[in-house]
Structure 1
Amino acid sequence: MLRAFDMYSDEHPDVRFDPDVTPRDVARMKLMSEITEQRGTYDIYFTWLQDTLWMVDAGAIVPLDEYIADMSSYLEDYPDFLASSIQRDGNTYSLPIYWNSLCMFYRTDLFESSEEQAAFRAEYGYDLRPPETWQEWVDTAEFFTRPPDLYGYSINGKAWAFYWDEYGVS
């Protein structure tokens, strides 16, 4: 993002950027404080996609439609799920520069094993399957945790637990 600021500033020397790079765990609290106190410190806010609609609800951001001549052509290459996460009441409030999806991988050999299925049913009282609720996630992770060679749950880095909590199974 900083490179984009530099590139824009090179073409528009009268525009100045004063970036405030803030770690994610602090950024949302800082932004909420900005909104609550109506300080107006930020003109541009680069954040995760899911922050868009709560900022709309808080009255913290304005529609971008009037700033983009043909918003529909801009959004035509975006999948429907993405457009719906940046729009409210026919207005567009953010411009995603990328997106990704989180997914869960599991070992089919374990889930399809008749021995594992029988043991799981005996212990938890329901059929072994990929988890669909948080309780099933916990049960499955607990069941398959057999150190030192098998662990029922593994996550990338210390911040990723937040993403599963916010976007994961419900």
Structure 2
Amino acid sequence: MKTEITYYKTPIGIAKIVGDTNGIQAVSVLDVKEVSVTDFKKSTPYCLQDCVVQLEEYFKGERASFNLTVNPKGTAFQIKVWKYLLTIPYGKTTNYLAQSKALGDAKAIRAVATANGKNPLWIIIPCHRVIGSDGSLTVYAGGIWRKKWLLEHENPVKQQTLF
């Protein structure tokens, strides 16, 4: 089975999408300078088209969850951690300690944080929704500014009326 790659321009960088007929294996964010013009001229392989459509809907504010077949590569522990991330609702956050407790071991906080950082499915498995216990944004593989953007996108500040 041939692994396919496509690129999709998002408001916060270029999404590189990797997968095959068994599912999406990876979605990562790149800076524009990391992608050549010829990469964008290629048509999107059929097995990746639905992922592109759903990402586009997400960025337009029309999609709060993804309905894709995913096939991330990881250890059993990493996959357990990533499955938990899928339970965090759109527009909500949790912290690493709460995630560790929910997974059954509060002392595994560093291992959980490390597994979050190795999440191969940017946005689709929403590791950006995990913050520090003190409310800080902590680290994010795509950069803190992207994590902040994603959280604000999912939970925009509503303008209060004066009267």
TM-score grouping bracket, smaller chain normalisation: under 0.3
Q: TM-score, normalised by structure 2?
A: 0.23
Q: TM-score, normalised by structure 1?
A: 0.22
User: Greater helix percent: which structure?
Assistant: 1
Larger-gyration structure (1/2): 1
